[in-house]
């Protein structure tokens, strides 16, 4: 066994197999290495360990009992499963290793503020997080995907966490499915069919009730956006905006939070939802605000911004947005649908203005535009709920 001692941490690197034929010898070697460096924490790096039997586990347990700071890292899935099944993962700090994956040459099928989604192969996709320290974000998104799946929303199933360079990625099963965006591009004559799939999935999401406290509130998030803008808006506009959002009744119905055609995939006449890290609950108006921005708001001064994000041209984006509203509110008249868009613009411009000021404060033309639009929209509406 190799070992290193750095920064008061002794790291030991077992290799090959630890079983009944060599377990006692391994235990003695542990003791000899520790005797040479009796101070500090101990880490067993299992990156090169292929197998461990119960005899090996007993040696590790014996070794661990004498150590105040002890951890096991870089376990393969098979080794980690052994530690988990035997209960060792509950008795000590045991961490999985992560296989390395390259996305060079892989098709980009979607991008959001938190990560980029690639097609790895016909069966799987990978979301690579932009934050280098994203393990907590990955854990949260996997839990959210699981929550949605249990509640009956058809979502891509996460099954592995990997390293992509110095970043982390979450791998999902998505068997031979294509995004609705790609299908609309490849088969424009049937775009109405794909927008109907898009609308039906949105109705399913919004029809799903979630127990209180599991997901964040879309209303509270929107209130946060408005409150951030207090010093950037006329007092009268800010006061009315805050009250409009505050007056929207809370709801336990699910919202996706980043709903666009690249986040809905389709295969075998079945829609599959991806990118679940923005799940929330609330009135559908908060969802339509996000949809409005994706398909129109972010590109009102520069159509290329929408085309860059959605990978479809401005006219197609306009068609998708209007057809979605028609299908979602198919039992309502045109005046009602127009009113929904006016309400969505209020929250949408609130989000866009805050986002632009925070991220690109030098874009004064865009900031002035969003501010002007927000003031005008707030003046036109008396309520936001739909």
- Describe the chain by its helix, strand, coil percentages, rounded to 5: 50, 20, 30
* H or E element in which residue 48 lies: strand 48-52
In sequence order, the 6+-apart residues with CB closer than 8 A to the CB of 278 are 112, 256, 257, 258
Over residues 313-329, the pLDDT tens digits come to 999 999 999 999 999 99
Please measure the distance between the N-terminal and C-terminal CA atoms of the chain and give it in whole angstroms.
66
Q: Which domains does the chain have, with CATH numbers?
A: 2-96 (3.30.750.24), 107-173 (3.30.200.20), 179-380 (3.90.1200.10)
Per-residue model confidence (pLDDT) at position 114: 84
Angstrom distance (rounded) from CA 210 to CA 236: 36
Instruction: For residue range 231-240, list pLDDT tens digits in order.
Output: 999 999 999 9
**204 phi, psi to nearest 5 deg:** -65, -45
Tens of pLDDT, residues 232-283: 999 999 999 999 999 999 999 999 999 999 999 999 899 999 999 899 999 9
Helical ranges in the chain per DSSP H = 23-36, 54-65, 77-85, 88-91, 135-150, 180-186, 191-206, 218-228, 235-246, 284-295, 303-310, 314-328, 334-359, 364-380
3-state SS, residue 217: strand
pLDDT at 198 over 90: yes
Q: In which residue are the tokens 């192969």 written? A: 121
Distance CA 297, CA 167 (A): 31
User: pLDDT-derived band of residue 341, with 50, 70 and 90 as boundaries?
Assistant: very high
Span 178-189, pLDDT tens digits? 999 999 999 999
Report, as an integer, the average pLDDT of 220-231: 98
**Predicted confidence (pLDDT) at residue 175 exceeds the cutoff of 80:** no
User: Residue 287 — pLDDT band, cuts 50, 70, 90?
Assistant: very high
Q: What is the Cα gyration radius of the chain? A: 26
pLDDT-derived band at 223 (thresholds 50, 70, 90) equals very high
Residue 250's pLDDT is 96
Q: What is the pLDDT of residues 135-172, one digit of tens each?
A: 888 988 888 988 999 999 999 888 888 989 989 999 98
pTM of the model: 0.79
Beta bridge partners of residue 280, listed in sequence order: 255
Q: What are 87-145's pLDDT values in tens digits? A: 999 999 999 888 889 999 999 988 877 889 999 998 899 999 998 888 888 988 888 98
Contacts of residue 338, defined as CB under 8 A and 6 or more positions apart, other chains included, come to: none
How confident is the model at residue 286, as a pLDDT? 98
The whole-chain average pLDDT of the chain stands at 94
- CA dist 270 → 160, 198, 200, 201, 263 (Å): 23, 11, 11, 10, 14
Q: What is the pLDDT of residues 67-91, one digit of tens each?
A: 999 999 999 888 999 999 999 999 9
**What percent of the chain has a predicted confidence (pLDDT) above 90?**
83
């Amino acid at each position: 066994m190799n070992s290193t001692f750095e920064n008061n941490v002794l790291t030991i690197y077992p290799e090959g197999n630890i079983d009944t034929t060599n377990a006692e010898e391994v235990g003695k070697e542990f003791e000899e290495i520790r005797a040479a460096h009796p101070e500090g924490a101990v880490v067993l790096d299992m990156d090169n360990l292929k197998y461990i039997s119960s005899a090996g586990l007993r040696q590790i347990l014996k070794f661990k009992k004498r150590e105040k700071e002890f951890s096991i890292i870089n376990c393969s899935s098979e080794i980690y499963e052994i530690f988990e099944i035997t209960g060792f993962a509950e008795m000590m700090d045991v961490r999985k290793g992560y296989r390395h994956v390259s996305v060079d040459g892989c098709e980009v099928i979607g991008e959001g503020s938190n990560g980029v989604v690639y097609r790895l192969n016909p069966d799987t996709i990978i979301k690579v997080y932009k934050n280098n320290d994203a393990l907590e974000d990955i854990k949260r998104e996997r839990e959210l995907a699981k929550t949605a799946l249990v509640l009956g929303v058809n979502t891509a199933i996460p099954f592995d966490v990997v390293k992509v360079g110095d970043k982390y990625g979450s791998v999902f099963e998505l068997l031979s499915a294509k995004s609705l965006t790609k299908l609309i591009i490849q088969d424009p004559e049937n775009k109405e069919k794909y927008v109907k799939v898009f609308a039906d999935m949105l109705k399913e999401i919004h029809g799903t009730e979630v127990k209180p406290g599991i997901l964040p509130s879309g209303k509270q998030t929107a209130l946060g956006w408005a409150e951030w803008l207090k010093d950037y808006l006329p007092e009268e506009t800010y006061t009315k905006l805050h009250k409009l959002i505050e007056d929207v009744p809370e709801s336990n119905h699910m919202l996706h939070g980043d709903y666009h055609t690249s986040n809905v995939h389709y295969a075998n006449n079945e829609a599959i939802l991806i990118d679940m890290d923005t799940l929330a609950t609330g009135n559908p108006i908060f969802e339509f605000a996000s949809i409005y921005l994706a398909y129109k708001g972010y590109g009102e001064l520069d159509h290329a911004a929408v085309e860059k994000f959605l990978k479809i041209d401005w006219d197609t984006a306009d068609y998708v947005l209007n057809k979605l509203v028609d299908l979602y509110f198919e039992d309502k008249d045109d005046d009602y649908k127009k009113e929904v868009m006016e309400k969505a613009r209020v929250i949408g411009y609130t989000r866009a203005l805050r986002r632009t000021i925070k991220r690109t404060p030098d874009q004064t033309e865009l900031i002035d535009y969003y501010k002007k639009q927000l003031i005008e929209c707030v003046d036109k509406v008396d309520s936001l709920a739909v």
